[in-house]
């Protein structure tokens, strides 16, 4: 019967689901109304029922249908489905009584039905998903009334599978239905969604057009700030809110000269950073310091948060920062203005989980975490470069914890004065691939003093200074190994006791190691630090010490003689963090400030993308003062789009909408975004998938 409305024009199906993943609202009260005692229970006109199935079911249905459809209704009703200015659906019923209604306790019921199983045959479109009822106060012939029910729209709904119903029914006696109507949405319905609706400025909002119809729309016009001026004509635009405030958002669509418009009042709330929680997107700048993190925060997959030099993040107790998208916290261009992550009490650290974006922490100071200050898992990609990671005190985990990830670089950092009661004080690595280069790892305390490498971890340590860490284990191990064989070269590993390597034996060459170690170029000498701490562990301030080598140290010019390891001045590699092509350059002994190579880089998110890609630039402090160019080329090397042409940039975040310089849409494929500055040219692959 559902499949033949021509033969059965008065049959309006509603399926009430009582269990499964999508139970219908008001199922229990409707079932009680009809005294449901068997399944299936089919109700006709409110007053007649057929219970159970079997071969005679269809004939029973037809009999009931004929009885109900032969009745004259006292109600005439026009039903429509539209929207209001709040972005809600509105089911509207315009009613006139053609005869008196003698029943009492009458109500008008509004229902939306939907098809939860689109692969089902036949396709029913009849499962009740919303329910609302109002008193129906008309009783006398000639009376008219207008009733409407707002319903919150779910962006997951396919509007071609949605229907609206209204039923005028008595809720007493036989529960007779006086009239019912059904309709669907057939016109233009402007709708949109976004990655975030609230957050601190600069709030980056990626809008998504979800209008009906899904195809065939000729134009989109967006007003992002409620000022009456349309700001964009893209289908899925990105907008950066740079001032705190509450903003109305308008979308106007057009099909064949017909227009429809929706305004959602107060859709976007941009705050000043004084109380931050939830999902993040956009850019943070020092003007709004400090950003006070009062609840857990996250960067969702596909979102970017860019944090500029000098920004301070103050975390409330136990609050955690989770990154599933892209975090660019890069202050490498301004060494005197690091990005600070800390707490007045203790917080939950930064967790990178299942993110394959090019995440970066550069010139950041991370302290006061009560779990791992940095945790990387789920094959996430992160570069930790030139950071100070200190005074993190954990009950079980290391200052940096890597689990099941293969694209992690830890370089040019100072990792000092961290404490773990049951793991390594500095870095723990489980089933991961990791590069650890040119780091100062000093005065950490833990069950294992500095490192723990387990479960077939593939770790390369080059030019690190590892000194005065404290192992609290009964048998003290500076480096704990379990089924892992790290490769260590050009490093200094110093301990007042002995250095132990249980379970596995590392490969060590050209290193200065307490107690000596069999391997080419290894020595056992006093490295002659300029001003080392006087003892081991976090009770001694490794940050205030000077881990440079004094003139005459036997670690100078004693690293691997291969030219690939040479120091920046071309001389043979010096053992320790200040040697090699990426060696640290101390600039302030008192504060142990270090210089790292301030390189230019590009981040693209999401990547692959469709149809827009967000492009974030990291430009060093010298180049940022001079004109730069940002261009997009196809795989043949042909110029497709010019983003910036030889200009001094005021912002480093851009959006490419997949169109060329002539505003024509480009084809799916590989593209390259290139950044040209006064000193360098860098590029990044980006994949457009349609």
Task: Taking residues 5-31, report their average pLDDT.
Answer: 82
What separation in angstroms does the CA of 562 have from each of 280, 463, 579, 585? 46, 14, 13, 21
pLDDT tens-digit readout, 83-133: 787 768 899 999 999 999 999 999 999 999 988 666 655 555 688 999 999
SS3 readout for 54-79: CCCHHHHHHHHHHHHHCCCCCEEEEE
What separation in angstroms does the CA of 349 have from each of 369, 409, 415, 453? 5, 18, 15, 21
Interatomic CA distance for residues 474 and 422, integer angstroms: 12
Given a contact cutoff of 8 angstroms between Cβ atoms, the answer to whether 393 and 366 are in contact is no
pLDDT tens-digit readout, 281-330: 988 989 999 999 999 999 999 898 989 889 999 999 999 999 999 999 98
pLDDT of residue 124: 58
Instruction: Give 29's DSSP letter.
Output: H
Task: Taking residues 560-566, report their average pLDDT.
Answer: 95
pLDDT of residue 590: 47
Q: What is the mean pLDDT of the chain?
A: 89
Backbone angles phi, psi at 607, to 5 degrees: -150, 105
pLDDT tens-digit readout, 603-634: 887 777 778 888 888 887 778 888 999 999 98
Given the structure tokens 């002994």, which residue do they identify?
589
Given a contact cutoff of 8 angstroms between Cβ atoms, the answer to whether 76 and 98 are in contact is yes
pLDDT tens-digit readout, 194-219: 999 999 988 999 999 988 888 899 99
CA angle 41, 42, 44 (to 5 degrees): 145
Task: Taking residues 542-571, report their average pLDDT.
Answer: 95
Q: For residue 668, count other CB atoms closer than 10 A to its CB.
A: 11
Lowest mean pLDDT among 98-102, 160-164, 168-172, 565-569: 160-164
Tell whether the torsion through CA atoms of 504, 508, 514 and 520 is positive or negative.
positive
Query: 599: helix, coil or strand?
Result: coil
**Is pLDDT at 65 greater than 80 in this prediction?**
yes
Interatomic CA distance for residues 159 and 214, integer angstroms: 9
pLDDT of residue 589: 43
Given the structure tokens 């109600």, which residue do they identify?
75
Q: Could you tell me what percent of the chain has a pLDDT over 70?
A: 95
pLDDT of residue 585: 77
Q: Give the residue, 380 or 28, on which the prediction is more confident.
A: 380
The residues with which 42 forms a beta bridge, in sequence order, are 50
**Is pLDDT at 345 greater than 60 in this prediction?**
yes
Beta strands 613-618 and 487-489: pairing type?
unpaired
Cα 585 to the center of its chain, rounded Å: 35
Per DSSP (E only), the strands in 26-74 are 41-44, 48-51
- Per this entry, what is the length of the chain? 690
């Amino acid at each position: 019967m559902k499949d033949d409305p021509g033969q059965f024009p008065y049959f309006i199906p509603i399926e009430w689901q009582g269990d499964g993943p999508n139970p219908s609202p008001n199922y229990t009260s409707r079932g009680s109304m009809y005294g449901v005692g068997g399944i299936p229970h089919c109700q006709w006109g409110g007053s007649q029922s057929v219970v159970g199935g079997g071969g005679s079911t269809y004939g029973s249905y037809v009999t009931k249908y004929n009885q109900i459809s032969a009745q004259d209704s006292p109600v005439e009703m026009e039903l429509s489905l539209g929207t209001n200015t709040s972005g809600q659906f509105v089911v509207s019923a315009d009613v006139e009584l053609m005869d008196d209604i003698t029943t009492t306790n009458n109500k008008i019921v509004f229902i939306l039905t939907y098809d939860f199983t689109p692969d089902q045959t036949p396709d029913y479109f009849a499962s009740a998903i919303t329910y609302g009822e109002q008193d129906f106060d008309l009783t006398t012939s000639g009376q008219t009334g207008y009733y409407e029910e707002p319903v919150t729209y779910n962006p997951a709904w396919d509007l071609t599978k949605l229907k609206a119903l209204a039923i005028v029914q008595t809720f007493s006696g036989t529960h007779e239905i006086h009239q019912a109507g059904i309709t669907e949405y057939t016109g233009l319905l402007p709708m949109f969604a976004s990655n975030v609706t609230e957050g601190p400025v600069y709030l980056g909002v990626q809008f998504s057009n979800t209008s009906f119809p899904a195809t065939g729309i000729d134009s989109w016009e967006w007003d992002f700030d409620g000022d009456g001026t349309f700001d964009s004509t893209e289908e899925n635009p990105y907008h950066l809110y740079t001032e705190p405030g509450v903003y109305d958002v308008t979308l106007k669509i057009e099909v064949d000269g017909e227009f429809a418009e929706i305004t959602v009042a107060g859709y976007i709330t941009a705050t000043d950073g004084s109380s931050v929680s939830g999902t993040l997107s956009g850019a943070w700048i020092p003007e709004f310091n400090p950003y006070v993190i009062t609840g857990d925060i996250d960067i969702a997959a596909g979102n970017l948060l860019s944090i500029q030099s000098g920004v301070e993040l103050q975390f409330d107790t136990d609050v955690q920062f989770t990154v599933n998208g892209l975090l660019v916290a890069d202050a490498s261009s301004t060494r005197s203005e690091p990005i600070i992550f800390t707490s007045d009490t203790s917080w939950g650290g930064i967790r990178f989980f299942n993110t394959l974006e090019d995440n970066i922490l550069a010139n950041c100071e991370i302290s006061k975490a009560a779990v791992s200050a940095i945790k990387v898992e789920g094959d996430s990609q992160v570069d930790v470069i030139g950071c100070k990671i200190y005074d993190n005190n954990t009950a079980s985990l290391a200052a940096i914890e890597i689990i099941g990830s293969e694209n992690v670089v830890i370089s040019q950092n100072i990792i000092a004065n961290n404490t773990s009661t049951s793991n390594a004080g500095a870095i723990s690595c489980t089933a991961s691939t990791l590069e650890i280069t040119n780091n100062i790892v000093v005065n950490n305390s833990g069950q294992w003093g500095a490192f723990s490498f387990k479960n077939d971890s593939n770790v390369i340590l080059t030019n690190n200074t590892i000194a005065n860490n404290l192992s609290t284990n009964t048998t003290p191990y500076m480096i704990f190994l379990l089924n892992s064989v790290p490769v260590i070269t050009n490093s200094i590993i110093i301990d007042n006791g002995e250095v132990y390597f249980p379970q596995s034996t590392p490969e060590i060459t050209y290193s200065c190691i307490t107690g000596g170690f069999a391997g080419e170029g290894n020595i056992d000498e006093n490295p002659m630090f300029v001003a080392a701490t006087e003892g081991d562990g976090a009770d001694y301030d490794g940050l205030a010490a000077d881990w440079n080598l004094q003139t005459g140290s036997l670690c100078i010019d004693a690293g691997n003689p291969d030219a690939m390891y040479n120091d920046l001045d071309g001389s043979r590699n010096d053992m320790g963090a200040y040697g090699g092509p990426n060696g640290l350059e101390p600039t302030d002994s008192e504060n142990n400030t270090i210089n790292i190579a301030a390189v230019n880089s590009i981040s693209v998110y999401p990547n692959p993308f469709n149809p827009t890609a967000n492009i974030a630039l990291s430009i060093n402090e010298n180049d940022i003062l001079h004109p730069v160019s940002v261009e997009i080329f196809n795989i043949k090397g042909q110029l497709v789009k010019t983003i910036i042409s030889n200009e001094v940039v005021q912002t480093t975040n851009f959006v490419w909408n997949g169109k060329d310089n002539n505003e024509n849409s480009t084809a799916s494929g590989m593209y390259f975004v290139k950044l040209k500055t006064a000193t360098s040219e860098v590029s990044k692959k980006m994949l457009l998938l349609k």
